[in-house]
Amino acid sequence: MTKLFPHFPRQYARYFLLLLVPLVVLLPLPDFWITQLNYIGLYSLVAMGLVLLTGVGGLTSFGQAAFVGIGAYTSAYMTVNLGWSPWATIFVGMAICAVSALLVGWLTLRMSGHYLPLATIAWGLSLYYLMGNLDALGKYDGILGVPTLSLFGWDVGQGRPFFVLVWGTALCGAFALIHLLDSRTGRAIRALKSATQMAEAMGVNTLQHKVGIFLIAANYACVSGWLFAHFQRTVNPSPFSLKFGIEYLFMAVLGGVGHVWGAITGALFTKIMEDQLQVLLPKLIGTSGSYEVIVFGIMLVLVLKYLPDGAWSIVGHRFAVRQRVNNWFNAAPLPERSKPAMGEVVLEVSKVRKEFGGLVAVNDISFQVKAGQIVGLIGPNGAGKSTTFNLVTGVLGLTSGAVRFRGQDITGHSSREIATRGMSRTFQHVKMIPDMTVLENVALGAHLRGEAGAIKAMLRLDKDEERRLFREAARHLERIGMAEHMHDLAGNLAMGPQRLMEIARALCSDPALLLLDEPAAGLRHKEKQALAGVLRQLRSEGMSILLVEHDMDLVMDVTDHIVVMEFGTHLMEGTPAEVQASEKVRAAYLGTEH
């Protein structure tokens, strides 16, 4: 493609697939194959929703067939009984799906991950029986005589024109998902599976994003159902039963649940296999029946065991991920929040306490951090430093005590609320999204500084904001000396650089107070020196830093004030020189002579 059109940017190459769709119709394919491909396109749309939900978001639903049913029945009922145009009913169907998904999602997603699939099983079943028993929907006979889709008097609901419609829709759906996953919202979604705690600390409302992807998946299914109803010209409950809900998940898993193209691959294989098995198995067994579920069931287990990334992963890696093109060098800088004046008290921790059952992990600790100050929090292992961190940042709830940040009481606030106020942190055990690049991981830190949502992202109306976010992310990576790792996958980094990446991510949120949990662990001597330089520079810009660290050279070198903890209690505090001179501190670390 690049050779043909030397000025054509490579990242647009995939859109040529859209142009190929009408060309396929011109091929001398038998009508039977066009029909099969139409079904595959319909299934692909549903499976794509599951890729977003299951492969990316780590949630799953067995109720997608029910959403297909809502789309199909809504349109069938409204066109046949109320005389609406199909082009209007799609929006009604999508609205109903959205409300249902919001209801089910809101009820289940606040609890742990397995309640959504369970609820969707029950929900899929009850919807199936509802469709089969309502007089208005024609009971198990369904609704007959659904009008075909026509565009300016031209029948696009059958055969080849429908092929163009279905595959055009499916490809647009695929592109929209690819766009979404590569956006501010997409990065937050990609954190849902393995790093919700980190995402919340970066200000991501993870519940909202979980409900959001369920809603998007439901609407992909709804569009498929709408197309299905007008293609079949009749609807009845059987294609929307739980069995099909499970089959859609099978497609996504078989094709590759982590990748958008896996959805199409899975739909293709499943449809072809189903057709072959429905002919072959009854011959083999001697009686007719839906025996293909045996093969599907066994295959599902085998695929999860031996090919967990699905069939697409066999070919997918040939399409090497292109390095992101630097298009942000001339982007406008992001606005920054007003910073506290030098010397102003930024953080005031008073008598915070945390009890785990009978164990007092943090025992009435009090200290202050002033603007432009680096405060070290040190103490032997198990002294309660990281727990104190978690109390201050709202990751853990406190038993008693109070935390004030920039003059406001933040006691008991969630980590997300605290992040919006300008406190940012790193984690003792690095939390990141390993299959995203370093740059993308860092850009997640700037989540609260952007506002483009899912729809803007899907339509690529967020380009300007994206450039600004990446400019900021790149700036902090350069500052921390990580520029050459910018395009590496975060999971491929060594421990030290991973920690530096976390610092860049925290800086990306434009914090007034930075909390660093053992940033120097795993760093080499040179890297430590560079880190100290960065910390000093940040301080000179008015940043306040609270530092938990075991490397005493670094702590004594950069901090202005040190708080020492032992067994959850406040041992002493003072300047580095005072702490070094303290007998108590020495005893705490090394023990006393008797």
Partner 1 sequence: MDFSIASILMLDGITNGAVYALLGLATVLVFAVTRVIFIPQGEFVAYGALTLAILQTGQVPGTVWLLLILAGVAALMDGWAAYQRHHSVADAVVALFKTAALPVAIALLTMWAAPQKWPLLAQAALTVALVTAFGPLVYRVAYQSLADATSLVLLIVSVGVHFAMTGLGLLFFGAEGFRNPSFWDERFAVGPLMIAGQAIIIGVTTVALIVLLWLFFERTLYGKALRATAINRLGARLMGISTHGAGQLTFAMAALIGALSGLLIGPTTTVFYDSGFLLGLKGFVAAVMGGLASYPVALVGAIFVGLVEAFGSFWASAFKEVIVFTLILPILLWRSLTDKHVGDDH
**Contact in structure between 404 and 347 (CB atoms under 8 Å):** yes
Of positions 148, 158, 234, 291, contacts partner 1 by CB under 8 A:
291
Of positions 85, 126, 276, 492, contacts partner 1 by CB under 8 A:
126
Q: Which is nearer to partner 1, 296 or 389 (CB)?
A: 296
- Block residue for tokens 């919006």: 420
Of positions 45, 47, 97, 109, contacts partner 1 by CB under 8 A:
109
Structure tokens at 410: 């933040």
Kindly state whether residue 108 participates in binding partner 1, applying the rule CB under 8 A.
yes
Structure tokens at 375: 């405060």
- Angle at which helix 159-181 crosses helix 16-26, to 10 degrees, equals 160
Euclidean distance between CA atoms 100 and 379, whole angstroms: 52
Of positions 304, 315, 332, 494, contacts partner 1 by CB under 8 A:
304
Q: Which is nearer to partner 1, 114 or 337 (CB)?
A: 114
Kindly state whether residue 112 participates in binding partner 1, applying the rule CB under 8 A.
yes
Sheet holding 359-370, edge to edge: 359-370, 345-356, 400-405, 408-409
Kindly state whether residue 194 participates in binding partner 1, applying the rule CB under 8 A.
yes
Kindly state whether residue 300 participates in binding partner 1, applying the rule CB under 8 A.
yes
Rounded least distance, CB 468 to partner 1, Å? 30
Q: Which is nearer to partner 1, 169 or 270 (CB)?
A: 270
Kindly state whether residue 197 participates in binding partner 1, applying the rule CB under 8 A.
yes
Binding mask 224-263 for partner 1 (x = CB under 8 A): ----------------------x--xx--x----------
Q: Which is nearer to partner 1, 288 or 323 (CB)?
A: 288
Kindly state whether residue 429 participates in binding partner 1, applying the rule CB under 8 A.
no
**Residues found in the chain:** 594
Q: Which is nearer to partner 1, 221 or 507 (CB)?
A: 221
Q: Which residues 6+ apart lie within 8 Å of 519 measured at CB?
A: 426, 499, 500, 502, 503, 531, 547, 549
Closest CA to 248 of 71, 42, 458: 42
Rounded least distance, CB 60 to partner 1, Å? 6
- Interface residues for partner 1 in 34-93 (CB under 8 A)? 54, 58-60, 62
Structure tokens at 260: 């958008």
Q: What are phi and psi of 281, to 5 degrees?
A: -65, -50
Rounded least distance, CB 546 to partner 1, Å? 24
Kindly state whether residue 572 participates in binding partner 1, applying the rule CB under 8 A.
no
Q: How far is CA 96 from the centre of its chain?
A: 25
Rounded least distance, CB 114 to partner 1, Å? 6
Q: How many amino acids of this chain bind partner 1 (CB under 8 A)?
A: 54
Kindly state whether residue 115 participates in binding partner 1, applying the rule CB under 8 A.
yes
Kindly state whether residue 299 participates in binding partner 1, applying the rule CB under 8 A.
yes
Kindly state whether residue 289 participates in binding partner 1, applying the rule CB under 8 A.
yes
Kindly state whether residue 324 participates in binding partner 1, applying the rule CB under 8 A.
no
Q: Which residues 6+ apart lie within 8 Å of 219 measured at CB?
A: 49, 67, 94, 97, 98, 101
Rounded least distance, CB 7 to partner 1, Å? 45
Binding mask 450-469 for partner 1 (x = CB under 8 A): --------------------
Of positions 182, 292, 440, 517, contacts partner 1 by CB under 8 A:
292
Q: Which is nearer to partner 1, 20 or 294 (CB)?
A: 294
Kindly state whether residue 298 participates in binding partner 1, applying the rule CB under 8 A.
yes
Euclidean distance between CA atoms 47 and 122, whole angstroms: 20
H helices within 307-404, ranges in order?
312-316, 385-392
Kindly state whether residue 388 participates in binding partner 1, applying the rule CB under 8 A.
no
The b-or-e profile of 427-441 (16+ CB within 10 A means b, else e) is bbebbbbebbbbbbb
Structure tokens at 23: 């060309």
Q: Which residues 6+ apart lie within 8 Å of 122 measured at CB?
A: none
Sign of CA dihedral 576, 582, 586, 589: negative
Kindly state whether residue 521 participates in binding partner 1, applying the rule CB under 8 A.
no
Kindly state whether residue 119 participates in binding partner 1, applying the rule CB under 8 A.
yes
**Which residue type, as a one-letter code, is found at position 552?**
M
Euclidean distance between CA atoms 336 and 333, whole angstroms: 9
Q: Which is nearer to partner 1, 193 or 536 (CB)?
A: 193
Rounded least distance, CB 257 to partner 1, Å? 9
Angstrom CA distances, 210 to 191, 206, 236, stand at 10, 6, 31
DSSP characters for 422-439?
Answer: TEEE--SS----TTSBHH
Kindly state whether residue 575 participates in binding partner 1, applying the rule CB under 8 A.
no
Of positions 21, 29, 98, 125, contacts partner 1 by CB under 8 A:
125
Kindly state whether residue 294 participates in binding partner 1, applying the rule CB under 8 A.
yes
Instruction: Kindly list the residues in this chain that would bind partner 1 in the complex (CB under 8 A).
Output: 54, 58-60, 62, 103-104, 107-115, 117-119, 121-123, 125-126, 129-130, 133, 193-197, 246, 249-250, 253, 285, 287, 289-301, 304-305, 308
